[in-house]
Amino acid sequence: MAEKIAVTGCAGFIGSHLTERLLAEGMEVVGIDNFSAGCMANLEKASENENFSLIEGDILSEEDLEELLDSVATVYHLAANPDVRLGADDTSVHLNQNIMGTYNLLEMMRKKNVKRISFTSTSTVYGEASEIPTPEDYGPLVPISLYGASKLACEALISSYCHTFDMSALLFRFANVVGLRSNHGVIPDFISKLEKDNSTLEILGAPPGTLKSYCHINDCIDAMISAEKVSTERVGIYNIGSEDVIDVKTIADIVCEGMNLTKVKYAWSGGVDGGRGWIGDVRRMQLSISKLVSTGWKPSMSSVDSIRTAVKELLEERSAQA
């Protein structure tokens, strides 16, 4: 019988790709999503597979979690509010959705005797790291956003549950993930703005913008599956990203090129605190991926290629929906 895996946030960008991949690997997948950000269209392919079942529910509901964790071996926990900008305006969202959601899930895992969890964390747990590329054992971890703080709190909860209740975990610290179905972040933001006004593009921050690493969704999913196969640690921490960085102006150039726009004027907002895009925005982010690379995984794309591919995919997706 196929191993049964639970995926929280299965209708979201990364969750839907992961669900498809787990099904393709022959697993039985039960997903949960409250559709606050995800959508049924993302699950079109997964829904055709008889090994997939969906709970339209919330990880803040004990009843929904009890149903989700029935006879599962492993949980991939992706459900969260991933909007870094939100924390400066509403301090409760990341606390409730991310920290309380993770706590509820761990409690139900403990009650239902589910022993393995893979968690999608983020580069923002490092804050403004002085070591770049930043390795997994960098410290101290000083997040500068409430989102980063919430994810670090989740990592701490997961680690302590593992040691207290004989569980094991993988903590994935992602760079920016881009690709088909992504509906938040810099590329969808630029495309939406240019669809409304193709003469001027408002860019948050000061030129040339922050310098960050981007990873294509296919590389990200490969990395997660690969780590799951090799990790033997009780709590394994893996950075996932690409091997280079790209600035925001270059991303804007690639989006304009993809949309065949040659005369767009860039209107930089000036940003906050000497050029950050928004409060809590890290100026430079590049993760050391050598730990996972040493086990055999390697990203197939650079940051520039990831952005180029994602722009093409998202524009094709939009024209198919039009």
Ligand X SMILES: NC(=O)c1ccc[n+]([C@@H]2O[C@H](COP(=O)([O-])OP(=O)(O)OC[C@H]3O[C@@H](n4cnc5c(N)ncnc54)[C@H](O)[C@@H]3O)[C@@H](O)[C@H]2O)c1
Could you give the C-alpha distances from 32 to 8, 25, 35, 145, 264, in angstroms and in order? 5, 19, 9, 27, 41
Tell me the one-letter amino acid at 304: V
Q: Is 78 in the site for ligand X (CB under 6 A)?
A: yes
* Interface pattern 15-34 for ligand X (x via CB under 6 A): x----------------xxx
CB 127, CB 143: distance < 8 Å: yes
Q: Indicate whether 165 belongs to the interface with ligand X (CB under 6 A).
A: no
Q: Tell me the C-alpha distance between 215 and 212, whole Å.
A: 10
- Please identify, using beta-carbon distances, which residue of 33 and 219 lies nearer to ligand X: 33
Q: b/e map of 33-65 (b: 16 or more CB within 10 Å)?
A: bbeebbeeebbeebeeeeebebbebbbbeeebb
**Contact pick of 22, 23, 27, 37 for ligand X (by CB under 6 A):** 37
The answer to whether residue 154 forms part of the interface with ligand X (CB under 6 A) is: no
Report the residue from 19, 74, 102, 120 that binds ligand X according to the rule CB under 6 A: 120
**Residues marked as catalytic:** 147
The minimum distance between CB 36 and ligand X, in angstroms, equals 4
SS3 content of the chain, % helix, strand, coil (to 5): 40, 20, 40
Cis bond leading into 133, ω under 30°?
A: yes
Does position 286 interact with ligand X (CB under 6 A)? The reply is no
The least CB distance from residue 63 to ligand X, in Å, is 13
Q: Lay out the site mask for ligand X across 42-61 (x = CB under 6 A, - = otherwise).
A: ----------------xxx-
The binding site for ligand X (CB under 6 A) comprises 8-9, 11-15, 32-38, 58-60, 78-80, 82, 97, 101, 120, 122, 174, 176-177
